Amino acid sequence: MRPRATLTALFITAAALAPTASAHATPLVPTVQFDPAQTSWKSYRDLTSAGYAAKFAALKSDWMLVDLDIDVIAGRYRAGAVFRPNSDGRAWASLRNLTAAQFHAKWLHYRERGLRLHDQEVYRTAAGALRYAGVWIENRGNLPWASYRGATAAQHAARFGQYRGAGYVPVDIDVYSTSSGLRYAAAWVHNSEGLTWKLRRGLTSAQFAAAFNAYKAQGLRSLVTESYPTAAGQRYAGIWVENRAKRTWAAYRDMSAGGFRNRRNQLADMGYRLDGYEKYATAAGARYAGVWRQNSDRPDWPLRSKVDAIIKKERDDHDVPGFSVAVSHHGNVVYQRGFGDQDKAAGVWMHGGSVNRIASVSKAVAGVLALRMEAKHPGLGMTDKVRTHLPWLPAKHDYTVGQTAMNRSCVKSYPAPMTTQNQAQYDTAKQAVEAFMDEDLGCTPGSYLYSTHAYTVLGAVIEKFEGKPVASVVRDELTTPFGLTTLRPEPLAGSLPDRVQLYKTNNDEYDGDNLSNKTLGGGLVSTARDLVRFGDAILDGTLLTAAQRTTLWSPLGSYAYGWNVPAESGSTYVGKSGGQPGAKSYLRIEPNEGIVIAVLSNRWKGGHSASSVSKKIGDAMLADLP
């Protein structure tokens, strides 16, 4: 039998209890386990009971629950959680919807088996029944610990003095209202690392803000933020602990659901993980609080403020609804951020996970796909005449497969009946080509003519070899096998979250058009994050061999397989720009320095330049290299 807790845990229950708030916590010690410099994480909020159960079942074998939140506000049961990988195979358990007796029995059961409680929830069901939930973790260090619930203010104060004097540190505080007054629940563990800490309760918003700022100045970080309604107004409690690791952190409170979503996305972009959150009732409705911890090197990137200023100026100068930008260096994402709005009317901020149209950057993706198809299918060569594979084309289509990807086919960019705001549906590239194949070419094949729909002909060739629509080929050959989840044809992006609202030049909403006629020439969507990952996969040999990469970026003039390769002296980059209703985009790569930059916006015209932003970022990075 493992050692039991050395302090007696206090349990006080009464039928009159009517809690209206819930708590959250992050296990504090040992910090090497529970405050890592970097770890994967997943968070969920506002799930139904069944939805939460499904997430829990899917993750419990490989992940560990580090924060649980159960709330019943306005009669609606909702659950949320934060998970991290269970990196050392630590035993843990979590139960919910327990009666007081069941919770007490489980508390004893897990204590006897060497687990300690680090998070507990108290709530009433819609029918008014009092219920409890908890999270227990394996106490591998055999650290003394204690927890209690249902304590009056006086009892909580007595326990506070007792545990502080015994060298404990609080890891959870929950304050809730009952018909008999406020009640307190808390969890404590022995402060084996001697961390400085503070626990405050009963604070007004102004008092909490003052304490927050004071403790931050003293080198403490927020561990728990708790809020609860009282007859005298909303009150706050919190736990702060010494930030010995000196990594940055953030905490916000009193956010609406939309505000929490925006802040979560923004901080995830900046390289923070969510350690815990709370949803609580207020007179103005449900509100959210969250605590975040630095989880990467991105917050410390020395060029962050300079890049912020570059993008902000471009957006402000041209009143662009939103920009989404990601930057990687040698495969490491050093910068990721959104500016402005993903959807102005809905109040959703743009972020690195916003799914934008990438317009003609699709052509750069098509060049990679073409070379991969050539390697996959022995009967397909870039020097083959297109009519070898599409014999139904009129004789004037006398150009090669490779020329369709290098703007040398002389197919007009938008031959009739194609338009930049197409509304017709084309299920295959072949159908689209059949619609314009009788239109005259714009020049003699072999000459340069920029063309979106030359890539539609390329798509029809690929369909011939793959035996399925080109949209499905992109998904099956690039999106799925390489984990580029959002890089896909727009018609196959309907289920993706965070699709941006498109805007006209005057910033009115644009309803959109049908991109099914130009999948490879301008019909793809992506996040900035996935576009950068796509660029990294070209550089590191994941997508193409070194020989294929050389072919990809070997131009005729200044244009290669979907990429611009500037011919001027001193140029070190390759790139591709894009613009179409609701989108302006640029993907820039400095191959010699391993730099990839993706810039996306949700408006086409109006004076802003995604390519200029990417160049300024690239120049700043090159100037900063040793």
Dump pLDDT digits (tens) for 204-262.
999 999 999 999 999 999 999 999 999 999 999 999 999 999 999 999 999 999 999 99
CB atoms within 10 A of CB 41: 18
Percent of the chain scoring above 70 in pLDDT: 95
How much is the pLDDT for 386? 98
Average pLDDT of every residue of the chain: 93
Q: What are phi and psi of 215, to 5 degrees?
A: -70, -35
Per residue in 94-117, pLDDT (tens digit) is: 999 999 999 999 999 999 999 999
Range 435-460 average pLDDT: 98
Percent of the chain scoring above 90 in pLDDT: 88
Burial 124-152 (b: 16+ CB within 10 A, else e): beeeeebbbbbbbbbbeeebbbbbbbbbe
Range 499-527 average pLDDT: 97
Q: Give the confidence band of 25 by pLDDT, cuts at 50, 70, 90.
A: low
DSSP class per residue in 133-190: EEEEEE-TT---EEEEEEE-HHHHHHHHHHHHHTTEEEEEEEEEEETTEEEEEEEEEE
How much is the pLDDT for 123? 85
Structure token pair of residue 253: 């409170």
Structure token pair of residue 86: 């269970």
Q: Give the confidence band of 16 by pLDDT, cuts at 50, 70, 90.
A: very low
CA distances from 481 to 163, 315, 466, 474, 484 (A): 53, 35, 16, 10, 8
Confidence check: pLDDT of 1 > 50: no
Confidence check: pLDDT of 568 > 80: no
Query: How many secondary structure helices (H) and strands (E) does the chain include?
Result: 17, 26
* Pair 292, 267: CB distance under 8 Å: yes
How much is the pLDDT for 447? 97
Residue with tokens 């072919």, as numbered in its chain: 551
CB atoms within 10 A of CB 261: 18
CB atoms within 10 A of CB 14: 12
d(CA 515, CA 511): 13
How much is the pLDDT for 313? 98
d(CA 450, CA 445): 12
How much is the pLDDT for 5? 36
How much is the pLDDT for 569? 67
* Pair 523, 469: CB distance under 8 Å: no
Confidence check: pLDDT of 15 > 80: no
Residues 6+ apart with CB under 8 A from 339: 311, 312, 315, 322, 323, 324, 325, 350
How much is the pLDDT for 359? 98
How much is the pLDDT for 456? 98
CA distances from 605 to 318, 425, 582 (A): 10, 25, 9
Q: What are the residue ranges spanned by the domains of the chain?
A: 31-300, 308-624
Confidence check: pLDDT of 581 > 60: yes
Q: Give the confidence band of 9 by pLDDT, cuts at 50, 70, 90.
A: very low
How much is the pLDDT for 223? 94
How much is the pLDDT for 28? 64
Q: What is the CATH number of domain 308-624?
A: 3.40.710.10
How much is the pLDDT for 181? 87
d(CA 326, CA 147): 44
Instruction: Decide: helix, strand or coil at residue 71.
Output: strand
How much is the pLDDT for 571? 78
* Pair 591, 574: CB distance under 8 Å: yes
Per residue in 305-362, pLDDT (tens digit) is: 999 999 999 999 999 999 999 999 999 999 999 999 999 999 999 999 999 999 999 9
How much is the pLDDT for 606? 97
Residue with tokens 């990807």, as numbered in its chain: 405
Q: Which residue type, as a one-letter code, is found at position 51?
A: G
Instruction: Decide: helix, strand or coil at residue 472.
Output: helix
d(CA 544, CA 550): 9
Instruction: Decide: helix, strand or coil at residue 439.
Output: coil
How much is the pLDDT for 32? 62
How much is the pLDDT for 483? 97
Q: Give the confidence band of 33 by pLDDT, cuts at 50, 70, 90.
A: low
Instruction: Decide: helix, strand or coil at residue 65.
Output: strand
Q: Give the DSSP H or E segment for 332.
A: strand 332-343
Per residue in 374-424, pLDDT (tens digit) is: 999 999 999 999 999 999 999 999 999 999 999 999 999 999 999 999 999
Confidence check: pLDDT of 616 > 50: yes
Confidence check: pLDDT of 291 > 90: yes
Per residue in 140-168, pLDDT (tens digit) is: 889 999 999 999 999 999 999 999 999 99
Confidence check: pLDDT of 19 > 50: no
Confidence check: pLDDT of 509 > 70: yes
Confidence check: pLDDT of 134 > 90: yes
Confidence check: pLDDT of 613 > 90: yes
Confidence check: pLDDT of 132 > 90: yes
Range 158-182 average pLDDT: 91
Range 355-375 average pLDDT: 98
Confidence check: pLDDT of 45 > 80: yes
d(CA 552, CA 405): 10
Confidence check: pLDDT of 23 > 50: no
